Structure 1
Amino acid sequence: MKFENYTIKDIAKALNLSTSTISRALRDSYEISPETKKIVLEYAEKINYRANPIARSLKERRSHSIGIIVSEIANNFFSQVINGVESIAYDKNFQIIISQTHESSERERLNVEYLTSRSIDGLLIALSSETEDISYLHKLKERGFPIVFFDRIPQQFDTHKVIVNNQQGAYDATQHLIKLGKKRVAHLTNSKSLSITKDRLEGYKKALMANHIDFDPNLIKYCQYGGLHLDEIEKSIEELILVGFDAIFISGDKLTTGYLHVVKKRNIEDLKHVAIAGFTNSNVVELFSANITVIRQPAFEMGKIATELLIKLIESTYPITDFETRILPTQLIKSN
């Protein structure tokens, strides 16, 4: 049986009132008396009336929905960002539609095309590890479509962006390992193309320089898919064992948990005494190793701020040309 929602016309017929009176009463208009509003609202609640979002979007030329694109929802960091997005979006009467790229630039583009075809009002996006060409996003913006980037951002794109202080977080993590007396600090990181990879590598290098330790490119291992596939982490670990290292700074949530998983699974004796510092928002990493120092990102706050900035773009009655990049601090949580 086809589901049919009650309409304003149904309420008007039942209460013997005009549709315009019902509409104004539901909007809490000052033109309608408190007594009439009470009657209308009580009846609407009784029949579980819900406004038709399609009719509303046609009238207002807005869908009251926001798209968000991340690499993987199962990633602890991104799931917490999404929670932050929801906390603001639903309070402002926006629905969110979530898409995953699994680090594929092609899937990212297809997701954007699908979401915009569904008439979303704006887009929140963290770029995939494969993404290099964002010309299609530039074209969307040129047509006035609101876009806000978070975490993984492009450099040449005039819009709001929300990130953490990646360079400082990486510096703090590497500095902590060096203070433990470590001299061969390896760095396991994401795709070379990502903004977070570049910024965290720079922080790592600055910490080495501050402690008069020569930079060794053989200690840097890039994982194109950010640990989405365990085999790329295993390969990196095997290569690092050959060159030798006594500590490792890991540059991403999935990479950190993946590294700990591989070490535990392989039970490699040489790695049991390696000091670890890694970016992760997972609460279970201590189950793998009590000796990990965590760099935690304010993911929930990032989602909130990105959504607030996007809604401002959506609701602005004039073109916005003054954009900002919000930089949030990271937190270093030392191992016991």
Structure 2
Amino acid sequence: MRPVTLDDVAARVGVSGKTVSRVVNGDAHVSPETRKRVEEAVRDLGYRPNLAARSLATARSNLIALFTPTSGLSHFFSELTHSAIRTCRKHDHNLVVEEFDMHAPQVAEIYRRGLRSLGCDGMILPSPVCDDLALLDALDADGVRYVRISPAKEIDRAPAIISDHASGARAVARHFWSLGHRRFGVVTGLPHQASSPIRRDAFIAGILESGGSLSDIAILEMQDLRSGLGPGSHRGMDLGRAAAASLLQHSPRPDAIFTYNDELAAGLISGARDLGIDVPSQLSVAGFDDSEAARLCWPAITTVRQPISSIAAQAVTILVSQEVPESRTIVCPVELIIRDSTGHRTS
């Protein structure tokens, strides 16, 4: 059987093809009664829009692009990608995923060599790609719309979606303090991750506001951990074990550690166990993201839940609607999720 066409729907309802097209494309200039009749005919006949023809007619590709790192895909990027795919489908769009090297992004060149020719309707730019000014200049020059996720530079340049990293890290600090902990460790993210210094500084501020001092806090940079590991050992679990070896074999050792993400926290718990240190009776550990690792690890990890799925959905919605949001910067609330990896200080 041949596919049902727009003209078939028009004939069933007794209106012009142009009227059916307006209904299908969400045009407001159609009476409610006519719209209802057309929508009923679309359902009854099983009409599906020809997306290729629609793209030609509207000069749109129905493609949204998303940059993700080539290796060590974290929970954040995995959830961001899956949510973007689901939301694109709801809007009759497809997601194009382009990989980049986290340590040498060169994303402007990646765009020029490949994505530019696709004519994407918009791009989702997570950190650190969102702060690549050469890429932003190229997109602006080509008139390509984009949404930035957690940018650190020129934040008002384009629509941006940011989790409230600072309030989440402060909540962890207050939680640690309320449990009686007084010696702390914090494991940062990589330097190019814009949220890393925000989480680190907010955690430190939370400890100081609670009554602690800088001398009570050991800061461990993930970049330093990476330099001590061999090739292929740069995933969060490996880095977390390395963090445990670095922070927990000195005296006095921290009795509570906050890590940049849940994968680091899971690795740190494993490393602590190897050293004979029990979590949480001898050490409290907290992460960030509320990933699958946090829920499946033993003990389950106290963490900060950020709405990754919602962030991706909002980004796609902004791009497909081609409307400028009321606020150029959308700040998403986060939530402290308390689980078994944190407990009261016992000594």
TM-score of the two chains, using structure 1 as the length reference: 0.75
3-state SS, counterpart of residue 194 of structure 1: coil
Cα distance in structure 2, aligned partners of 1:291 and 1:7: 52
Equivalent residues in 2 for 1:251-262, closer than 5 Å: 251-262=260-271
- Aligned pair count reads 313
Q: Measured at CA, do residues 161 and 138 of structure 1 come closer, stay the same or move farther in structure 2, by a change above 3 Å?
A: same
Given that 1:170 and 1:200 are in contact with CA atoms closer than 8 Å, whether structure 2 keeps it comes out as: yes
Cα distance in structure 2, aligned partners of 1:104 and 1:135: 16
Superposed CA offset, 1:107-152 (max 9, x none): 64455442232111100111238x86422223312442211111x3
Tell me what 1:307 maps to.
Answer: 316
Cα distance in structure 1, aligned partners of 2:289 and 2:176: 16
Tell me what 2:66 maps to.
Answer: 68
Given that 1:8 and 1:23 are in contact with CA atoms closer than 8 Å, whether structure 2 keeps it comes out as: no
Q: In terms of mean alpha carbon deviation, does 98-107 or 139-148 score higher?
A: 98-107
Equivalent residues in 2 for 1:38-77, closer than 5 Å: 52-71=50-69, 74-77=73-76
TM-score of the two chains, using structure 2 as the length reference: 0.73
Larger RCO (CA under 8 A, 6+ residues apart) = 1
Q: Measured at CA, do residues 229 and 53 of structure 1 come closer, stay the same or move farther in structure 2, by a change above 3 Å?
A: same
Superposed CA offset, 1:232-253 (max 9, x none): 4333322212442111001223
3-state SS, counterpart of residue 90 of structure 1: helix
Superposed CA offset, 1:195-252 (max 9, x none): 2112111211111211232214971122247963644433332221244211100122
Q: Measured at CA, do residues 44 and 109 of structure 1 come closer, stay the same or move farther in structure 2, by a change above 3 Å?
A: farther
Tell me what 2:135 maps to.
Answer: 136
Tell me what 1:16 maps to.
Answer: none
Q: In terms of mean alpha carbon deviation, does 139-148 or 216-225 score higher?
A: 216-225
Tell me what 2:192 maps to.
Answer: 193
Equivalent residues in 2 for 1:146-225, closer than 5 Å: 146-150=145-149, 152-157=150-155, 158-216=157-215, 219-224=218-223
Shift of 1:186: 0.4
1:246 counterpart letter in structure 2:
D
Q: Measured at CA, do residues 192 and 237 of structure 1 come closer, stay the same or move farther in structure 2, by a change above 3 Å?
A: same
Unaligned segments of structure 1, at least 5 residues? 13-20
Given that 1:66 and 1:121 are in contact with CA atoms closer than 8 Å, whether structure 2 keeps it comes out as: yes
Cα distance in structure 2, aligned partners of 1:309 and 1:228: 32
3-state SS, counterpart of residue 200 of structure 1: helix
Cα distance in structure 2, aligned partners of 1:182 and 1:217: 10
Q: Measured at CA, do residues 138 and 217 of structure 1 come closer, stay the same or move farther in structure 2, by a change above 3 Å?
A: farther
Given that 2:61 and 2:121 are in contact with CA atoms closer than 8 Å, whether structure 1 keeps it comes out as: yes
Q: In terms of mean alpha carbon deviation, does 21-30 or 139-148 score higher?
A: 21-30
Q: Measured at CA, do residues 280 and 193 of structure 1 come closer, stay the same or move farther in structure 2, by a change above 3 Å?
A: same
Tell me what 1:331 maps to.
Answer: 335
Cα distance in structure 2, aligned partners of 1:180 and 1:126: 35
Across the aligned residues of Structure 1 and Structure 2, the Cα RMSD in angstroms comes to 4.0
Cα distance in structure 1, aligned partners of 2:163 and 2:240: 24
Cα distance in structure 2, aligned partners of 1:128 and 1:217: 31
Tell me what 1:122 maps to.
Answer: 122
Q: Percent identity?
A: 20
Unaligned segments of structure 2, at least 5 residues? 9-15, 25-29, 227-232, 341-347
Q: Measured at CA, do residues 59 and 169 of structure 1 come closer, stay the same or move farther in structure 2, by a change above 3 Å?
A: same
3-state SS, counterpart of residue 148 of structure 2: strand
Shift of 1:275: 0.3
Tell me what 1:236 maps to.
Answer: 243
Q: Measured at CA, do residues 327 and 269 of structure 1 come closer, stay the same or move farther in structure 2, by a change above 3 Å?
A: same
3-state SS, counterpart of residue 202 of structure 1: helix
